[in-house]
Amino acid sequence: MPVPDFQSLMLPVLRATADGEITAPELRDRVAHEMGLTAADLAEMLPSGRQPTFTNRTAWANVCLQRAGLIERTGRGQYKATSSGLAELGENPARIDLRFLRRSPGFVEWRRRSAGLEDKAEALTPAPAILDSTATPEEQIARSYETLNAALATDLLERVGQMSPGFFERLVIELLMKLGYGGGDRDMGKAVGRAGDGGIDGVIKEDALGLDLIYVQAKRYAAGHAVGRPEVQAFAGSLDGVGATKGILITTASFSTGAREFAARISKRLILVDGVELARLMVEREVGVRTQVTYQGEEHRRELFHRVTRRAAHLSEFRR
């Protein structure tokens, strides 16, 4: 079964602490057994890949219950239910969630401080979207980050499509340098695209003497276009013309199945990078983007730290 959301884990977590002091690993084991989770369920990771989803959600359920005064920390990584927590369990609640915890002044005050709204009355009545959320803070951050990056990637490709071919060729060489080609030295790569270039738009030296070269072709197309096998085959022919064995073909569009099959079958080392991968790499290596704002937050009690950076396409400052 899928790992339950952190609100659904609150009651099982509280029950796990009802018999006295318990360590975090023991607590997770009890909750996993009660929920019938399998080894595969427990191995599921957060989008960041840094922590198991079950561990993260159980920890946040624990934190919320502590803030509501239902669980107390008795030592490093050790917990037990408080008298208030045992009293609530004695009422046999069907579910404990954020709405339930709002009955605790301590929990409401913590939520208000966490939101940085100490002086705002609306903090006392959290928005329904927050109360109904099934995602932990890390999961919400990851989703927001992915959404921002997806929007940024789309914006980047649109702007690249509006630039001149020469600009695109220089941008591609810059990106490849940032990826480590040519040792990351800008002087080891250059755009050479011009009339009669034989299908070669750039060249990268893998060594200082230029004994090993990588040739690059950069193709801009509108969304929906698929670069086919004939175009990839033509680029492979261009590599023959300069005696090269390595090439990178980058496009703002996509590649057909036939194009990819051809590239994988020939003896040359030919890498195909489509628009989706191009935009992802540009965002990752900060090519053509600028940081607008960085959000940081820390929950000292749980010793976690997360950072989300919002960036925007900013090709105008790209090195020409």
| Of residues 11, 172, 179, 4, the one with CA closest to residue 89 | 11
Do 207 and 244 fall within a single domain? yes
Distance in angstroms (rounded) separating the CA atoms of residues 103 and 69 = 11
Q: Is 257 a domain residue? A: yes
Do 186 and 263 fall within a single domain? yes
Q: Is 293 a domain residue? A: no
Give yes or no for residue 111 having a pLDDT over 50.
Answer: yes
Q: Is 271 a domain residue? A: yes
Instruction: Write the CATH number for 221.
Output: 3.40.1350.10
Residue type, 16: A
| Of residues 305, 282, 302, the one with CA closest to residue 294 | 305
Do 96 and 212 fall within a single domain? no
Considering its fold, how many domains does the chain have in total? 2
Q: What residues make up the domain containing 116?
A: 10-135
Do 123 and 219 fall within a single domain? no
Q: Is 20 a domain residue? A: yes
Instruction: Write the CATH number for 27.
Output: 1.10.10
The CA angle 273-274-276, to the nearest 5 degrees, is 120
Q: Is 192 a domain residue? A: yes
Hey, which residues does 308 pair with through a beta bridge?
Answer: 295
Do 130 and 203 fall within a single domain? no
Q: Which has the minimum average pLDDT: 54-58, 105-109, 256-260, 291-295? A: 291-295
Distance in angstroms (rounded) separating the CA atoms of residues 308 and 315 = 22
Do 165 and 280 fall within a single domain? yes
Structure tokens at 213: 């070269």
Structure tokens at 91: 């009422």
Q: What is the structure's pLDDT at 294?
A: 55
What is the pTM (predicted TM-score) of this model? 0.55
Question: By three-state DSSP, how is residue 312 classified?
Answer: strand
Q: Is 291 a domain residue? A: no
- pLDDT by residue (tens digit) across 9-24? 999 999 999 999 999 9
For residue 306, the Cα-to-chain-centroid distance in whole angstroms is: 12
Q: Is 220 a domain residue? A: yes
Q: What is the structure's pLDDT at 300?
A: 38
- pLDDT by residue (tens digit) across 177-231? 989 888 878 788 888 866 555 689 999 998 777 778 999 999 988 778 899 999 9
Contact predicate 108/124, CB 8 Å: yes
3-state helix, strand, coil in the chain (%, to 5): 50, 20, 30
Q: Is 141 a domain residue? A: no
